């Protein structure tokens, strides 16, 4: 394979590869940790960014409501 062709192939793979983003479950876990840290920080008088904290609380609330409507767990097994 010629060098320009190889370079074009590598460039195409690099550009076409999906970017690495945290999954929804990872973001939920991060938000839970943030809310817990905020609760501990409140007692010491320091508070994190209120808008981010509010977004995290909303995300946790939505996940709780969504999970309560699910009939299977993460592995696809019935809950009941």
Q: Where are the domains of the chain?
A: 22-72
Q: Within 13 Å of residue 38, how many CA atoms lie on the same side as its CB?
A: 16
Residue pLDDT, tens place only, 6-37: 666 655 655 555 544 568 889 999 999 999 98
Residue pLDDT, tens place only, 49-59: 888 999 999 99
pTM comes to: 0.56
């Amino acid at each position: 394979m010629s060098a320009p062709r190889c370079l074009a192939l590598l460039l195409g793979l690099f550009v076409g590869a999906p970017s690495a983003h945290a999954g929804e479950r990872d973001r939920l876990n991060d938000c839970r940790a943030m809310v817990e840290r905020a609760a501990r920080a409140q007692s010491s008088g320091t508070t994190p960014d209120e808008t981010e904290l509010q977004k995290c609380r909303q995300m946790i609330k939505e996940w709780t409501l969504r999970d309560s409507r699910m009939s299977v767990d993460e592995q696809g097994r019935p809950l009941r």
